[in-house]
Structure 1
Amino acid sequence: MKGIVFTEFLEMVEQEFGLEVLDQIINESDLSSGGVYTAVGTYDFIEMQRLIVKLSEKTGLSANDLLYAYGKTFFAVLEKNHANIFSLYDGPLEMLASIENHIHVEVRKLYPGAELPTFRVIQQDDNFLEMMYYSDRSMYMFAKALMVQTFDHFLENSRIELEKVQDDGTQVRFRIYKEPHAVN
């Protein structure tokens, strides 16, 4: 897993839960890296799992809630560092539908060796997108947060449903609806 995912996660932990909690989860997670990461490095995903489990224990929040919160935070990093990608799309559904065939291709150019989930579009129209998520890492709530933030970026409303096809979260079906704007 690319180091930027770790460095941004640790920054979120410090901002949201404080330096003391950050130090505790690093010290109690038995990390082969010692909890020292560079944005361009590559690290074992087991370290991220351990950090999330420890953070869950410290905060009482579920791992999925933490992954969702982190996804929302990480989106801001993508928005800041890769604004050019957003300008290529007219709306959130178009952008989300291009994850596999365009966005992940660009990510792999920027971060060679990045291990990314796979997304397969099942059905798409102007107001709906159904896609399958595949990943051994089961970070589907992180993916859902990125989807929600994509709609926010385009100032669009959404409703996103997910269905775990595999109980362990390695295969998840997303049904993404573009919702009309509320009338005042």
Structure 2
Amino acid sequence: MSETSAEDRIWTVPNLLSFLRLLGVPVFLWLVLVPQADGWAIGVLAVAGFTDWLDGKIARAFNQTSRLGRLIDPAADKLYVFATIFALLLREVIPWWLVVVILGRELLVASFFPVLRKYGYKALQVHFLGKAAMFNLMYAFPLLFLASHSGWYAEIARIAGWAFALWGTGLYWWAGVLYVVQVRQLVTAAKKG
């Protein structure tokens, strides 16, 4: 099998896990907003986080990386973050300013896509920092969700959740700044070439 055809694969275990994660997004929103089945919703987030880790492990271990996987894996991560902040904002678990700060970073990075396309680039290389930020945010929101309940775990979840949320948001913006630098370098190189 040639390297090009391996890159074009669709039916791989990591891609299947990413598709399943995508299907979990509306299920999560429904659980949080309609029956308010918080335990099940947190379970969906936990499974999504585990399968996010697992699909990367499998892709690297069994050489199942693909072009599609590099698109749907981060898309699933972002959809979970957006769905979670939307649901938690509606349930008044997180403040609006946190949503604005996270979405502001997304708008900043998205504003560079037309520039990239103009110079013939399709996407930016994902930074480890961006992955670390997403990891922190994916842990923050379930913890903040748990903190909104009463119980012995609520205060511990609140402290840990806000630590992950603030650290993750800071890393998210730092990764955004690195993307700005990367775009500038690519555009400068394209203009010289």
TM > 0.5:
no
Larger Rg: 2
- More strand by proportion, 1 or 2? 1
TM-score by length of 1: 0.30
